[in-house]
Amino acid sequence: METVWASKDGQAFLVKGDCFEFMRAGPDESVDCIWTDPPYLLSNDGTTCVGGERVSVNKGEWDRSQGLEADHAFNTRWLTECYRLLKPSGTIWVSGTHHVYLSVGFAMMQIGFRILNDVVWEKSTPPPNLGRRCLTHASELLLWATKAKKGGEDRYTFNYDELRQENGGKQMKNVWRMRAAPPTERKHGKCATQKPLALVDRCLRASTNPGDFVFDPFAGSGTTLIAASYLGRRVYGCDNDQGNLAVAVRRLRAMDEGERLLVPAVPKASNGQSEGASPAGGAVPTGV
């Protein structure tokens, strides 16, 4: 295990290494919230469209399916460690497509998580479907779950009023229309699975408070660490892909140097949801 980046105040760090080894070293019930984007296991030698060009969907051996049973065993294994690490009132967000979220959701229920919401991230500019044999894939799903038992004494965090205010005084729905990570968030390098800062930012504002501990076992390009750091949360993450880690470190160092992006107010989308921004005029780091 190697620490490849740490914040100056010691409240955040990124480690290169195997997520299972890293999680096993963590103390029980020490984390308030987990936000993670695990392998979707969709590297199947197919193609997709990026920037108008046909490109391979393969991202690496870590993203290749090993078969239904082995894939589900993998998801159950890492989610079991997450369950142990979370406090009794802790919550977890897991993003995915149909390639993985059915297994993730079933594993959550088997382990003892209580699923609170499925959130549909509707991509405002999805890539076209080149095969023309099915609908265009324009969404990803986030599962939000907690260890807290319904009716029990442990209460998970949900900052209802903040999200309602963000949504113009109306209850926030579970369909969020947001852009994919824009070029300004990819300026320090490309990561095939990179999520937009606005997506992680909203989840963490909904389910954590300043000073809370956030963890990402599949840190990728570092978006969770950047969003959590900017919001005043303590955060740590790990990854074992050298390419992703290189991008993450460049982005985190840029954040350390004060690089910022002012997110303007955006028009309401057709579903009444704000389209992918922090509260109007909020500042967030660039390069995420």
pLDDT tens, residue order, the chain (288 aa): 899 999 999 999 999 999 999 999 999 999 999 999 999 766 555 555 566 666 655 556 656 677 899 999 999 999 999 999 999 999 999 999 988 999 999 999 999 999 999 999 999 888 787 778 889 889 999 999 999 999 999 999 999 999 999 999 999 999 999 998 888 898 998 887 899 999 999 999 999 999 999 999 999 999 999 999 999 999 999 999 999 999 999 999 999 998 875 443 333 444 445 454 443 333 333 323
pLDDT at residue number 269:
42
CA distance 73 to 78: 9
Global pTM reads 0.86
Helices (H), 66-186: 68-85, 101-111, 160-166
Give the C-alpha separation, 177 to 193, whole Å: 18
From the list 171, 203, 195, 188, the residue with the least C-alpha distance to 243 is 188
The rounded distance, in Å, linking the Cα atoms of 56 and 25 is 36
Q: What is the pLDDT of residue 256?
A: 93
* pLDDT digit string, tens, across residues 202-254: 999 999 999 999 999 999 999 999 999 999 999 999 999 999 999 999 999 99
Which letter does DSSP use for residue 127 in this model? P
- 143 Cβ contact list (under 8 Å, min separation 6): 93, 94, 96, 101, 104, 105, 108, 115, 117, 118, 119
Task: Locate the domains of the chain by residue range.
Answer: 2-284
Q: Which fold has domain 2-284?
A: Rossmann fold (3.40.50)
Confidence at residue 32, expressed as pLDDT on a 0 to 100 scale: 98
**What is the tens place of the pLDDT at every residue in 96-108?**
998 899 999 999 9
How would you classify the pairing of strands 86-96 and 139-146?
antiparallel
Task: Give pLDDT, residue 43.
Answer: 52
